[in-house]
Amino acid sequence: MEKFRAILLLGPPGSGKGSIGTILAYLGMGKHLSSGDIFRQLPKGSSLERGFREQEKKGLLLPDEQAVAIFLKHLNSLVEQQVLHPAKDLLILDGLPRTVEQVDLIKAQVVVETVVHLKIRDQQTIYDRIEKRARKEGRPDDQISHLARERVKEYERKTVEILNRYPPGILVPVFADLPLPYVCRDLLNKLLSK
């Protein structure tokens, strides 16, 4: 199968990956794929769904191989349905890869061309955003403050090191603690000038 090209949105919980991915897709810059949305749509009562919910309740990530297998199965399903076309569609990846191991597991099917690093300078901003999202969307992983803190620790332990796996020339740092319109303006300016 021909490989997909992708933009990876990388940032802590609450950094705006979902919102920014949705906006970039709306602007025609690619197809937004949120791993969290994919995992939350697993068949109810299935062993995969139960495993995801158990990890979510602890603020932890799914095991690497399982997360990537679910993601790739979803991706291949979209190709079979002719919703996605590797030759022409650019993916906007939100939430996967999240570990160095996942970087290696997806590279047979996905080539990451740009890594958007969404930086938050004050951790309290992260917790305020997660709390606001919990009230708005009712996500279980957002509703308990110690889970939110555990998810931020998981990001710092496992996800930040991904930045070292990609060449510096494809990294696009953006301060994501600004209001969303400013973040998007800054990001678009950087992406369009590449």
Q: In this predicted model, what pLDDT tens digit does every residue of 119-159 receive, in sequence order?
A: 999 888 888 888 887 778 766 555 567 777 888 888 998 88
Query: Which pair of structure tokens corresponds to residue 190?
Result: 């950087």
- Model pTM? 0.89
What pLDDT, in 10s, does the model give residues 40-90?
A: 888 887 777 787 777 777 766 788 999 999 999 999 999 999 999 999 999
Among 118, 183, 127, which Cα is nearest to 152's? 127
Tokens of 188: 């678009």
DSSP single-letter state for residue 157: I
